[in-house]
Amino acid sequence: MWERQASSDDAGLERKSRTVSGSAINGQGGDVLEIEDLVVVLGELQVLNGLNLEVDDGQMVAVLGPSGSGKSTLLRVVAGLLAPRSGRVLWDGRDLAGVPTHRRGFGLMFQDFALFPHKNVAANVAFGLRMAGEEPAAVKQKVDEALGWVGLDGYQERPVTALSGGEQQRVALARALAPSPRLLMLDEPLGALDRVLRDRLLPELRDLLRARGMTGLYVTHDHDEAFSVADRLALIRDGKVVQVGPPGEVWARPAGAWAARFMGISNIFSAEVRGGFARLPWGTVRVASQEVGQRTLVMRPQGIDLLPPDVDASGEGLSADDRALARVVTSTFRGGRYAVTVVLTDGSELEAEVETNRGPTQGDLFEVQVDPEQVIILNDYG
């Protein structure tokens, strides 16, 4: 755990936090966020390149992409902190161009929490409510309620500098939730936490967002976070959304080879598909498709089995010449399974996840068998 140290730049912190909190007082819900053809240029770099996205009422959309893909820039435009060169942000059909940040009714939680180190927990959570002119009694009620949502009952008088990293994260979330924002935006909200704490807080954050029925944008580069919190997932690359859909659908059928690679699947090969089989430079595998022609195959590691080379594969409909032999390069134990990398006869590598009592060792020879249901056939190789 880490503790946030007091900052000497309290004025700058106040300016940053002001964009977070009081902005969500006016929201009513039942609306739709529409992002149309956004183009943002920073210096000589075009960060967003005609980005389109829609967020329905009560829906949490996770924006997932590598560093530098434009995720945080997107949030800054939606929040009104940055003006696009072109394109529109609409709420309930209304163009928000010219609407200042504090009038948009949106809440924003930063990765670094942006808490006031000289204020206690209650004062941090209350900041936006007070800036919006709420009555003291209403402020206290909303602060207490928001702290209850995040499991910090009784923490009102504690200094934020005495809190753990996870507790500070909860305070920042309570501050974003207290004004009942009509849209909640979270920019890498768990990014400042270590992996153990992040794994512990992620289910709590997911359950809280769902219990509150929040409409929001959740920006992250972490696959586990995105798949856990999202009702819909938007993959972003080079300032454009390349795929959007329910998390299960995006995982089951990535839109292209790049999407598959980004989600951690490295087994991507070009193959000639015909008659339920795919012929590759290193062998032939069965596929659950009757497509014909040159295709891109994505093979999930979970669908790859490594068998002793003397196993009879005639039941697979493969001749001896078609069978794929591979030699183990690395083998790593991962909680009941082994992650194995093998090198194939043409020199390319394949990753497999296998269940076995004894892990394969470097140099072991196996025959590769692929589950047809774990093969995704794509039309591109980009």
Give the pLDDT of residue 5: 31
Name the pTM for this structure.
0.81
In this structure, is residue 5 part of a structural domain? no
The whole-angstrom separation of Cα 84 and Cα 328 is 51
What element of type H or E holds 26?
none
In this structure, is residue 3 part of a structural domain? no
Average model confidence (pLDDT) for the chain?
Answer: 86
Residue 252 has pLDDT above 80, yes or no: yes
* 252, 275, 296 - which closes a domain: 252
The three-state DSSP-derived secondary structure of 33-76 is EEEEEEEEEECCEEEEEEEEEEECCCCEEEEECCCCCCHHHHHH
For residues 361 and 241, membership in a common domain is answered with no
Please state the rounded mean pLDDT for residues 209-229. 91
With cut-offs at 50, 70 and 90, classify the pLDDT of residue 209.
confident
* 197, 226, 252 - which closes a domain: 252
Look up the domain containing 184 and give its range. 10-252
Read off the CATH number of the domain in which 167 is found.
3.40.50.300
Work out the percent of the chain whose per-residue pLDDT is above 90: 61
pLDDT in tens, 66-91: 999 999 999 999 999 999 999 999 99
Please state the rounded mean pLDDT for residues 262-283. 91
For residues 212 and 337, membership in a common domain is answered with no
With cut-offs at 50, 70 and 90, classify the pLDDT of residue 15.
very low
Residue 233 has pLDDT above 90, yes or no: yes
For residues 200 and 218, membership in a common domain is answered with yes
pLDDT in tens, 196-205: 888 888 888 8
pLDDT in tens, 103-113: 898 998 887 77
Give the pLDDT of residue 236: 97
For residues 264 and 248, membership in a common domain is answered with no
More confident: 94 or 193: 94
The whole-angstrom separation of Cα 100 and Cα 107 is 13
Read off the CATH number of the domain in which 310 is found.
2.40.50.140
